[in-house]
Structure 1
């Protein structure tokens, strides 16, 4: 493959599979201390004939290359324990190893459905499509119907979702979900990979990448046929929607909006106002006070981060820092 192995990662490879005609598809999975979920994910990927390569970046303390190879013999396994707690940096590490023209990311706690990879390839048959958000099903009643536009950034700074909905055809969107997202390699190269300074559970780093694709003029579509089942694994630390999660969510959303629309934008002001008003909807004085505290702390944390993260005007979509330049060279070469 011609890649030079970085000194920070231990790589173990098995045999390669032949590439079909057309664009090559690499699938990247980042994982951390969830071996059972990783094994289940890889076994599902092994059944997809339209995949050319699977890259696993594992931040676990102990290597799980034997487990990964047993589930998917052709896996490219990268052991990078120094990336523990940095999911987005793990995703950028995967970009250093993926060789495909199309690069997909799936979470380790999803199971791809039959036809997932084929549907992705079909979506990218349109040369204007730069990124695809796949359908991510959670097994909830009624989730296949969504009453709002799917995947939009609204004028008030809020995001719509609907990524489990079964739309009759692909639809244009602003953003997608990190559990099931795919990009053209050329676009990832131009952008310089993910911005990896969204801390904590890395909330909004996926939205950030999609919005940057749109800022370059690329089409982003939601393809319901590229479906996965999301069977959430427990977090290594904390619960999925605990106070820590909410703090990071508000902090990262402030940074996201400031980068996309500018720190002085009405969109950011409208979103902050909406968040403060929402605290009044909590039941009981104690809950309202708690929600207000978390909201103020998260927003304040985000505002404090803005001098180093965003300016008064929208930020350029392409990374120009050393990591961005490195990833641009790796992906472009």
Structure 2
């Protein structure tokens, strides 16, 4: 199996360099590296100084749209397996071997690798890893140590991989999760599952996540929480439909959590964020979802374009194999 590793980045050159040096040391030379950089400055020379054969795409028009950068990367991948890594991770030894071992099982369509944050006790996680609960909440556990592969509903965007054929069938990522792009990774895993594909957590395909600062705002600030509620509502509405009981239970749970906040000021702040976030999410979901679940395949112009691009090289390689075989047969006849 051939591997394509994609990095999307924006205004974090020091972290990008650290990530690329990790890839150069930890990947087989045959693996393809694709970098899509939305930064204002063209850093192609930096990328190629570390990995001379890397594909570098300078795309400043994609600034603020991480998932659109992911789709841009899909135009250039050549591997059977396509990985997306955040620019602030470094590979642990054995990452590539463990990833390809997971995909050796033909039933596996998507893999979430272990993403270690250096937090005490993160290797232990009691709830099931990577599940969507009946009340619409998501379980985590992607830093935990598990005994072998674990079946999951959703994965983590910092270290996620897919069969190229499955991404072609999907027509790429849904790229309209704005702001922090929270839930775009969950969305693609749920769509893989809706196709009938199997998604697994592979704890031996591990990276260290050494977080870079956000270019705008900070993780878990008010902006992050507002986008989180908005995007989560859109996710649940698309996956289960606007009429899903799961979506209603999640909204109810958000308001119930307000009462569990400590102190009047904290309650008021959480109530405000919840009201605005849920209202924003409801408006977005009404525009972007339907009463019943959406089909997992993108059938818009971009989806069709990406599907064709992802299938093109597969067809070309198949033609090449047929031509080689034809030539061999003719030599044998001679």
Task: Report the TM-score, using the length of structure 2 for normalisation.
Answer: 0.92
2:246 corresponds in structure 1 to 267
What is residue 37 of structure 2 aligned with on the other side? 58
Q: In the alignment, does 2:7 pair up with 1:29?
A: yes
Residue 321 of structure 1, aligned match among 300, 303, 309:
300
Bigger drift between 157-166 and 64-73 goes to 64-73
Structure 1 Cα separation of the partners of residues 120 and 27 of structure 2:
31
Shift of 1:311: 0.4
Indicate if the aligned counterparts of 2:242 and 2:286 stay in contact, CA closer than 8 A: no
- State how many pairs are aligned: 311
Residues 4 and 32 of structure 2 are in contact (CA less than 8 Å); yes or no, is this contact kept in structure 1?
yes
What residue is the counterpart of 1:39 in the other structure? 17
Q: State yes or no: 1:87 paired with 2:66.
A: yes
| Superposition deviation, residue 134 in structure 1 | 0.2
**Deviation at residue 307 of structure 1 after TM alignment:** 2.7
Runs of 4+ in 1 over 4 A off after TM superposition: none
Partner of 2:276, secondary structure, is helix
Q: Which runs of 5+ in 2 are unaligned?
A: 313-334
Q: Which residue of 2 aligns with 1:13?
A: none
Q: Distance in 1 between matches of 2:283 and 2:4?
A: 38
Structure 2 match to 1:204: 183
Which of 214, 220, 223 is the equivalent residue of 2:193?
A: 214
Give me the whole-angstrom Cα distance separating, in 2, the residues matched to 1:70 and 1:280. 54
SS across alignment from 2:57: strand
In structure 2, C-alpha distance between the alignment counterparts of 1:71 and 1:229, rounded to whole Å:
20
Correspondence 1:164 to 2:138: no
Aligned mates of 2:52, 2:123 — CA distance in 1:
34
Deviation for aligned residue 1:313: 0.6
> 2: CA distance between counterparts of 1:94 and 1:110?
18
**1:165-180 alignment runs, 5 A limit:** 165-180=144-159
SS in 2 for 1:281: coil
| Aligned-partner SS, 2:169 | helix
Question: What is the CA-CA distance between 1:74 and the residue it aligns to?
Answer: 2.2
Shift of 1:203: 0.3
TM-score (norm 1): 0.92
- CA distances 1:198-247 after superposition (whole Å, capped 9, x unpaired): 00010000000000000001000000000000000001111111100000
Q: CA RMSD in A?
A: 0.8
CA displacement, residues 157-205 of structure 1 (integer Å, 9 cap, x when unaligned): 0000000000011100001000000000000000000000100010000
* Partners of 2:81 and 2:253 in 1: CA distance: 38
Task: Flag structure 1 segments of 5+ consecutive residues without an equivalent.
Answer: 1-22
Secondary structure of the residue aligned to 2:259 is helix
Name which of structure 1's ranges 48-57 and 90-99 shifts more when overlaid on structure 2. Answer: 48-57
Map 1:1-333; keep pairs closer than 5 Å.
23-50=1-28, 52-333=31-312
C-alpha distance in 2, partners of 1:113/1:74? Answer: 22
Alignment partner, residue 19 of structure 1: none
Q: Which has the larger radius of gyration?
A: 2
Work out the CA distance in 2 between the residues paired with 1:270 and 1:49. Answer: 44
Structure 2: distance between partners of 1:139 and 1:131: 25
Deviations 1:56-109 (A, max 9, x none): 000000011111122222211110000000000000000001111100000000
